[in-house]
Amino acid sequence: MATQPRGRASVKIRDVMTPDIEVVTPDDTLKTAVQLIADLDCDALPVSEDDHLIGVITGRDIAVQVVAKNRAGHEITVREAMSPDVLYCFENEPIKAVARKMSEWWVRRLPVVKQNKRLIGTVSLADMAALEAPVPSEVEMYSQRLQNARSKRPIRRGRRVAVAA
């Protein structure tokens, strides 16, 4: 966390978000995007151009485009398959408001942007739920259990699997 907030009511998304996230550009190929999705073990990636959020691409978007166009993943760009209508939140929004939006939108993770749509991170329900834990040692215990479970998963295709926060 960037700073220690004084009270739960004053906690903003920037206080709990994960900065330095992996993105793809619209000119990357679907092959690059699917490799990154597999390496990060995630469902979707933000699409960024000049550090600004312009879309999102999911594994489903990739599969549909490859099958529909009957072309290989290295022949199709992210721009052709991405969804330009992406849901996001602002860094200065209160976490309660963002949690409500995520519930209404049925999403577990949102890109975080500045007012000019410059992409600066991502926030997940888990990031916000960590604030609800009554004792910090419980958060550490659950985090350790999750980390242990992830380390026991098999590595796919001989590559090291990075875990997105």
Question: Span 91-98, mean pLDDT?
Answer: 90
Does 156 fall in a domain?
Answer: no
Question: Span 25-48, mean pLDDT?
Answer: 90
Does 65 fall in a domain?
Answer: yes
138 has a pLDDT exceeding 60:
no
Does 154 fall in a domain?
Answer: no
Supply the DSSP symbol for 158: G
Does 21 fall in a domain?
Answer: yes
Does 139 fall in a domain?
Answer: no
Q: Give the residue among 62, 5, 70, 2 at the shortest CA–CA distance from 37.
A: 62
Range of the domain at 35: 8-124
Report whether 113 contacts 122 (CB < 8 A).
no
pLDDT (0 to 100) of residue 157: 43
Does 132 fall in a domain?
Answer: no
Which pLDDT band, with edges at 50, 70 and 90, does 21 fall under?
confident
Does 138 fall in a domain?
Answer: no
pLDDT (0 to 100) of residue 40: 87
User: What is the domain-level CATH number for residue 82?
Assistant: 3.10.580.10
What the block records as the tokens of 145 is: 């259990």
137 has a pLDDT exceeding 90:
no
pLDDT (0 to 100) of residue 127: 83
The residue among 135 and 22 whose pLDDT is bigger is: 22
164 has a pLDDT exceeding 50:
no
* The three-state (H, E, C) secondary structure of 83-132, written as one string: ECCCCCEECCCEHHHHHHHHHHHCCCEEEEECCCCEEEEEEEHHHHHHHH
Which pLDDT band, with edges at 50, 70 and 90, does 140 fall under?
low
56 has a pLDDT exceeding 80:
yes
d(CA 89, CA 119): 10
- Quote the number of domains for the chain: 1
Does 41 fall in a domain?
Answer: yes
